Amino acid sequence: MAIDNVAITDAEFARFQALIYKIAGISLSDAKKVLLTGRLGKRLKHFDFDTYTEYYRLVSSGADEGELQMMVDLLTTNETYFFREEKHFDFLSEKILAKHPPGQPFNIWSAACSSGEEVYTLAMVLAEKFGVSGNWMVTGSDISQRVLASSARGLYSGERTRGIPPEYLRKYCLKGVRAQEGMVLIDQPLRKHTRFMQVNLNNTLPETGTFDVIFLRNVMIYFDAGTKRDVVARLVQRLKPGGHFIVGHSESLTGLTDTLRAVQPTIYLKP
């Protein structure tokens, strides 16, 4: 019978490090051992396992794809908020959208969208420029099915929406009442310009179309150099000539690609 706080051996942890790297390209440092046991320990209880080796055998055998996805969901960090690193959205509005030909379609990909705040932030910025009846679309993708399901609903606690400017809250969001009191729903006219899809950036990409802008922010910090180069190369193929590629403020594409030209730190152009 499984007991609380099962200890994980170094060898067991190394197996999970190798497995999540193989699946998602994520490099779990040794410092993440506590995080792993904290998140996977509940799955040991669920299956009444006494060791992490038993759980590893289950998820690595291919016999239970649903549980493998559960493991990936638990081990991928999903931290984001509305208008995070807002200078990127200022650049989008003032430098990119301002030059876009009126009436022409405009497509953005949030390639590691987590729980969807970045997608809806982008949607609000585009709606301000093109209107909610304009010809534009924001695609959000993530490896985690769990966060994608949440993203598509567009329902957030009021506390999570603090970064949204008051005028945008009034224009693009609905306040919950009765059973939904304290919640905020992204309004349908905005949500109809969004789509969500599960994408593992570490694998061959599915058909997505091409994009005017790709956001890949605050995810490469979990990749090693080789994985970073491979992921960027895949995504750049989906970026239109003249399109922009934007990474997080703590990230850089220096040494990872010679296809893109730096416009300013963290913002790149495909000639």
Would the pLDDT of 62 be above 90?
no
CATH 3.40.50.150 in the chain, residues?
Answer: 87-153+193-269
**Mean predicted confidence (pLDDT) in 226-237:** 97
Would the pLDDT of 53 be above 90?
yes
Q: Which residues fall within 8 angstroms of residue 51, CB to CB, at 6 or more apart?
A: 6, 12, 44
Q: What is residue 60's predicted lDDT score, i.e. its pLDDT?
A: 93
Q: What is residue 6's predicted lDDT score, i.e. its pLDDT?
A: 85
Q: What is the DSSP string of 77-120?
A: -----TTTTTHHHHHIIIIIGGGSPTTS-EEEEETT-TTSHHHH
- How many other C-beta atoms can be found within 10 angstroms of the C-beta atom of residue 232? 23
Tens digits of per-residue pLDDT, 110-152?
999 999 999 999 999 999 999 999 999 999 999 988 889 889 9
Q: What is residue 177's predicted lDDT score, i.e. its pLDDT?
A: 82
CATH 1.10.155.10 in the chain, residues?
Answer: 10-75
Q: What is residue 154's predicted lDDT score, i.e. its pLDDT?
A: 96
Would the pLDDT of 4 be above 80?
no
Is the dihedral angle over the CA atoms 156, 157, 163, 169 positive or is it negative?
positive
The CA-based angle 37-38-42, given to 5 degrees, is 90
Question: What sections of the chain are H helices per DSSP?
Answer: 10-24, 33-47, 52-60, 65-75, 87-91, 117-130, 145-153, 166-172, 188-191, 225-236
110 in Cβ contact with 118 (< 8 Å): yes
Q: What percent of the chain has pLDDT over 90?
A: 80
* Interatomic CA distance for residues 260 and 242, integer angstroms: 10
**DSSP secondary structure code for residue 196 in this structure:** E
Superfamily of domain 87-153+193-269: Vaccinia Virus protein VP39 (3.40.50.150)
Would the pLDDT of 64 be above 90?
no
Average pLDDT value for the chain: 93
Tens digits of per-residue pLDDT, 174-211?
998 888 889 999 999 999 999 999 999 999 999 999 99
Query: Catalytic residues, which ones?
Result: 39, 142
Give this prediction's pTM. 0.87
Residue with more model confidence, 70 or 76: 70
Would the pLDDT of 1 be above 50?
no
CATH topology of domain 10-75: Chemotaxis Receptor Methyltransferase Cher; domain 1 (1.10.155)
What the block records as the tokens of 203 is 């694998």
Between the alpha carbon of residue 142 and those of residues 76, 99, 158, 185, the distances in Å are: 10, 29, 23, 21
Q: What is residue 78's predicted lDDT score, i.e. its pLDDT?
A: 66
Between the alpha carbon of residue 115 and those of residues 46, 54, 66, 110, the distances in Å are: 25, 31, 20, 11
Q: What is residue 245's predicted lDDT score, i.e. its pLDDT?
A: 98
